[in-house]
Amino acid sequence: MATSSTDVPIGPSTAAQECPSAHLTVDDRVGLLRAMLLMRAIEERAMNLYRQGKVPGSFYDGFGQEAVSVGATWAMAPADRLCVLHRDLGAHLVRGVAPAAILSQYMGREAGITSGRDGNVHFGDLRTGCVGMVSMLPDMMLVAAGMAMAFKLRKEQRCALTWFGDGSTSRGDFHEAMNWAGVQRLPVIFVLENNQFAYSTPIKQQFAVNPVERAAAYGFPGVSVDGNDAEAMFEATRAARERAVCGGGPTLIEAVTMRMHGHGAHDDMKYVPKALVEEWRQKDPIDRQGNRLKELGVDVDALVKEVRAEVDAAARKALAGPMPDPATATDRLFASRDDDEVLLEDGAAPWSGFRS
């Protein structure tokens, strides 16, 4: 029997919550907020730069979805590997990519992560253990599964994680990756960012059965999480990671959230009912985390100021940097034997649990 779970977006509860994880210190909780603030500030700045014509092409952001990438990445260890998608800037920030490098990336500058070879969030800094996404969705699910396969073959206690949207679950690679990961019981975490829309297409035209329910059919658990709660995202990912590195196999985490901006900077999202946006505005992940911390006596306003200053400085630095040299456009198409040992490196892993 088909479920009717896709007819109405299942929003997270607005009720105030205590910390949903017993594994977060106050510093962790502040760190989560700081990373979300940084993500929002960078993307807001980038949107302005786009409107000023300084960001070529198009621009995509994850406004309102900051908790999904920040919370999940907070649970990742240095040797874990990630494939980061287009609403997940927070993952790069948690893993240690500098804001100036990100703004340079958006502007196609030499100092961008891809030195101008790819745009917007299509990047991965190999020094942080991240593989840059390709546009074809959800191709990176298979790449993440492959990294996890290598970990398992070598008997290493590591895992891989990737994100993907509700729309991309309709493509074949979703099935191939879910099936492969299930058959081989891979240490991989799949994070489905259900932000209710794929460009203009609502989820009810995307699937008859919510993909989180399909996980069971592939032989592993699927859990639904409040995607606007960074701490809940962390906790679900922490538990999934623990299962993964102990040989328990994959987990599908559905992060229930809402795309609060258009698909890209060009999209006025007239197709989204205003009331729906208003409803979700009340569930803003940054307000949510900020309120929690204010109750604990944290000076959130000072944090906001500090982050803003950091992004100002990053923007100045990025704007001062040169564009790439056109003479390099055909360089580095093929690797030489000297590049043979170039692999992904370990990234930052700020969670206190990795230090104890």
Ligand X SMILES: Cc1ncc(C[n+]2csc(CCOP(=O)(O)OP(=O)(O)O)c2C)c(N)n1
Residues contributing to the site for other proteins (CB under 8 A): 81, 113-114, 117-118, 122-126, 131-132, 134-136, 139-151, 153, 160, 172-173, 176-177, 179-180, 183, 332-337, 339-340, 342-344
Least separation in angstroms between residue 261's CB and Mg ion is 12
Q: Give the other-Cβ count within 10 Å of 322's Cβ.
A: 9
**What does 114 bind: other proteins, Mg ion, ligand X, none (CB cut-off 5 to 8 Å by kind)?**
other proteins
**Residue with Cβ nearer ligand X (23 or 207):** 207
**What does 137 bind: other proteins, ligand X, Mg ion, none (CB cut-off 5 to 8 Å by kind)?**
ligand X
> Could you check whether the bond before residue 138 is cis, i.e. omega within 30 degrees of 0?
yes
Non-local CB neighbours of 196 within 8 Å, separated by 6+ positions: 9, 166, 202, 203, 257, 258, 259, 276
> Among the candidate windows 50-58, 133-141, 152-160, 347-355, which touches ligand X by CB under 6 A?
133-141
The answer to whether 135 contacts ligand X (rule: CB under 6 A) is: yes
**Residue with Cβ nearer other proteins (37 or 186):** 186
Q: How far apart are CA 4 and CA 327, in angstroms?
A: 56
What's phi and psi for 82, nearest 5 deg? -130, 145
**What does 199 bind: Mg ion, ligand X, other proteins, none (CB cut-off 5 to 8 Å by kind)?**
ligand X
**Residue with Cβ nearer other proteins (146 or 248):** 146
Least separation in angstroms between residue 196's CB and ligand X is 8
> Among the candidate windows 31-39, 48-56, 135-143, 151-159, which touches ligand X by CB under 6 A?
135-143
**Residue with Cβ nearer other proteins (11 or 138):** 138
Structure tokens at 204: 């009810």
If we measure between CA atoms, which residue out of 279, 206, 269, 217 comes closest to residue 10? 279
**What does 280 bind: other proteins, Mg ion, ligand X, none (CB cut-off 5 to 8 Å by kind)?**
none
Non-local CB neighbours of 175 within 8 Å, separated by 6+ positions: none
Structure tokens at 223: 């859990």
Where would I find the beta strands (DSSP E) of the chain? 81-84, 130-132, 160-165, 188-194, 197-198, 201-202, 222-226, 251-256
For ligand X, the binding residues in 85-104 under the rule CB under 6 A are 87
The answer to whether 320 contacts ligand X (rule: CB under 6 A) is: no
The answer to whether 330 contacts ligand X (rule: CB under 6 A) is: no
What's phi and psi for 4, nearest 5 deg? -105, 20
Q: How far apart are CA 178 and CA 191, in angstroms?
A: 12
**What does 87 bind: ligand X, other proteins, Mg ion, none (CB cut-off 5 to 8 Å by kind)?**
ligand X
Strand partners, 164: 192
The answer to whether 167 contacts ligand X (rule: CB under 6 A) is: yes
Q: How far apart are CA 104 and CA 111, in angstroms?
A: 6
The answer to whether 197 contacts ligand X (rule: CB under 6 A) is: yes
Residues that bind ligand X (CB under 6 A): 87, 135-137, 165-168, 171, 193, 195, 197-199, 259
